[in-house]
Amino acid sequence: MDAKPAGHEFVHLETNPIPKGARSGFFSTSDNVRLRYGIFPKQGEAPRGTIVLVQGRTEFIEKYFETIGDFQKRGFTVASFDLRGQGGSDRMIGNSRHGHVENFDDYWTDLDDFHKGIVLPDCPPPYFLVGHSTGGLIGLLAATRDRLMFDRVFLSSPMVSLPGLPFSLKWSSRLVDLARFLGLSNLPVGRRGDREQTESGYEGNPLTSDKKRYMRSVEILKARPDLIVGLPTLGWIGSSLAAMRVANGDDFPARLKIPVFICAAALDSVVDTSATEALGLRLRAGHHVVLAGARHELFMEADPIREQVFAAFDAFVTEQTGYAGS
């Protein structure tokens, strides 16, 4: 572990106002990593419980202010944190702009400690996990570990597999592990979609068709450059491939202990939608949908796509809370 970013305070922009009632802070995990978190109280009339929002790789709390507000209006408290190695949390290697983690289970430590130390004492039940991309894979694995942690899990473009791998997940994982064994764990590698968002990067980007929401993320990073994360390291890739292998195991659907809903993007080039569909078809206590015309970041997409995502969320949560949307 190396660099420590600036304070826990949120970036406020006119184009991205801080949600009502927000409070931020730091907490330390059981392995002594400092993570930035935020709690946003419900704004709707009837309390519906708490959404624990788990972000994707490179992301940060401010990026989800609009989405947090959408959950607040539905009566949910929202609790979120920046994963280790990104956002306002401790970075794990000397170059703070390289996304790195040595073991994917470290993210379980982040989530478990956040749930026990912040969510349970400070946020109202019932608890629901909403995870995007890397956060989606974290959520899937969490659903196999503790059936009492969350009532339901709702996932956006979960990282079940990666498109364009030259070999199978098994052999890709073994090759990266060999490189890590040879001392290359901190070496940054990646695709165009793994690089930081910039003003010139909108055209043809793999993340969203909504220019306003794309540029909003760019503006946040310009206001607070310490939040930037670019390419992942071989350590991150190797640990993630190992976790994806678990999620693709024949026995994985039977191990899921709580209901899961998966939203996938038809035009996703960041994660492998076909692998997500294959998992969705095998779910015993869950559902999946593939949204036509959508790119990877469903919560940052154009309004018609976001409306479909929230319609799916409302229908899925209705079964638990009785909330029918607005």
Of residues 159 and 198, more confidently modeled: 159
- Other C-beta atoms within 10 Å of 178: how many? 11
Report yes or no: 253 and 285 within 8 Å, Cβ to Cβ: no
DSSP single-letter state for residue 91: P
Domains (range + CATH), the chain: 23-321 (3.40.50.1820)
Mean pLDDT over all residues of the chain?
93
Helix or strand or coil: residue 140?
Answer: helix
Is the Cα torsion angle 152, 79, 290, 313 positive or negative in sign? Answer: positive
Instruction: Assess whether pLDDT exceeds 80 at residue 1.
Output: no
For the chain, how are helix, strand and coil distributed in percent, rounded to 5? 40, 15, 45
Burial state string for 265-302 with b = 16 or more CB within 10 A and e = fewer than 16: beebbbbbbebbbebbeebeebebebbeebbbbbbbbb
Name the residue among 72, 33, 68, 41 with its Cα closest to residue 54: 68
Give the chain's end-to-end CA distance (angstroms, integer): 45
**pLDDT tens per residue, range 105-120:** 999 999 999 999 999 9
Sheet with 286-291, side-by-side order of all strands:
23-28, 34-40, 76-81, 49-54, 127-132, 152-156, 260-265, 286-291
Q: How far apart are CA 41 and CA 45, in angstroms?
A: 12
pLDDT of residue 125: 95
Rg (CA), the chain: 18
Q: How far apart are CA 286 and CA 302, in angstroms?
A: 26
Extended strands (E) in the chain = 23-28, 34-40, 49-54, 76-81, 127-132, 152-156, 260-265, 286-291
**pLDDT tens per residue, range 276-286:** 999 999 998 88
Global pTM reads 0.94
CA distances to 90, 187, 237, 252 from 184, in Å: 21, 5, 12, 30
Q: Which amino acid is at 135?
A: G
Q: How far apart are CA 247 and CA 262, in angstroms?
A: 13
Give one word for 31, left, alpha or beta, with left for phi > 0 and alpha for psi -120 to 50: alpha
pLDDT of residue 326: 43
pLDDT of residue 257: 86
pLDDT of residue 324: 47
Of residues 171 and 6, more confidently modeled: 171
pLDDT of residue 200: 83
**pLDDT tens per residue, range 205-263:** 999 999 999 999 999 999 999 999 999 999 999 999 999 999 999 999 999 989 999 99
**pLDDT tens per residue, range 24-64:** 999 999 999 999 999 999 997 788 999 999 999 999 999 99
Report yes or no: 99 and 236 within 8 Å, Cβ to Cβ: yes
Which residues are paired to 38 by β-bridges? 24, 80
pLDDT tier at 325, thresholds 50, 70, 90: very low
